[in-house]
């Protein structure tokens, strides 16, 4: 994973739908400051799991929707791994 990779997500859209300021949402999520939420929204970093669960509760959206691109990528990777494992077992 490169340092310039961004993780697209729906955080900004969901926050705007809830009519929350970045400062208010950050406080509700238990973040120290809104800058951290800004980094999450811009996809610069991924939140810790507990923070992601708080986001799910606050925005009333499942994680696979909030982080749809990452979810799709991980799912495809798992399917590739499963297919590779099946091919290896068949050859044995």
The continuous run of DSSP H or E covering 61 comes out as: none
Task: Give the integer Cα–Cα distance in Å for 23 and 7.
Answer: 21
Split at pLDDT 50, 70, 90, the class of 1 is: very low
Which pLDDT score, from 0 to 100, does residue 85 have? 76
Task: Give the integer Cα–Cα distance in Å for 42 and 52.
Answer: 15
Number of H helices, E strands in the chain: 6, 0
Whole-prediction pTM: 0.83
What are φ and ψ of residue 65, in 5° steps? -90, -45
Q: Where are the domains of the chain?
A: 11-91
Greatest distance between any 2 Cα atoms in the chain: 58
Question: 11-91, superfamily in CATH?
Answer: lambda repressor-like DNA-binding domains (1.10.260.40)
Which pLDDT score, from 0 to 100, does residue 3 have? 52
Q: Mean pLDDT in the chain?
A: 92
């Amino acid at each position: 994973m490169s340092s310039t990779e961004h993780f697209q997500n729906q955080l900004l859209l969901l926050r705007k739908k809830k009519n929350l300021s970045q400062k208010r949402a950050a406080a509700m999520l238990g973040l120290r400051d809104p800058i951290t939420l800004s980094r999450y929204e811009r996809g610069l970093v991924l939140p810790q799991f507990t923070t992601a669960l708080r986001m799910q509760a606050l925005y009333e959206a499942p994680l696979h929707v909030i982080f749809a691109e990452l979810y799709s990528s991980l799912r495809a990777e798992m399917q590739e791994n499963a297919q590779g494992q099946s091919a290896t077992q068949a050859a044995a």
